[in-house]
Amino acid sequence: MKKSEIGTGRFYSDGKQGVREVIDAGPQYKLYAEVQDDDCLRYRILNAKAQVNESEREGNSTRTAFAAWAKQEIHADQVSMHLTRLQAEKIAGKLTDAQCIFLLTFDTDMSVTDSVECPRSEHRAAKSCHEKGIIDQVPSSLRAEDSQFEVTFTSLGLAVIATIHGQTTKSG
Radius of gyration of the chain (CA): 21
Q: Name which of 96, 146, 145 is nearest 123 in CA terms.
A: 146
Looking at residue 32, its pLDDT comes to 86
Looking at residue 50, its pLDDT comes to 84
Give the global pTM.
Answer: 0.81
Question: Which parts of the chain sit beneath pLDDT 50?
Answer: 172
Q: Which CATH class is domain 90-171?
A: mainly alpha
Q: What is the pLDDT of residues 70-87, one digit of tens each?
A: 999 999 999 999 999 999
Question: How far apart, in whole angstroms, are the C-alpha atoms of residue 33 and residue 1?
Answer: 26
Domain locations in the chain as residue ranges: 3-74, 90-171
Looking at residue 123, its pLDDT comes to 97
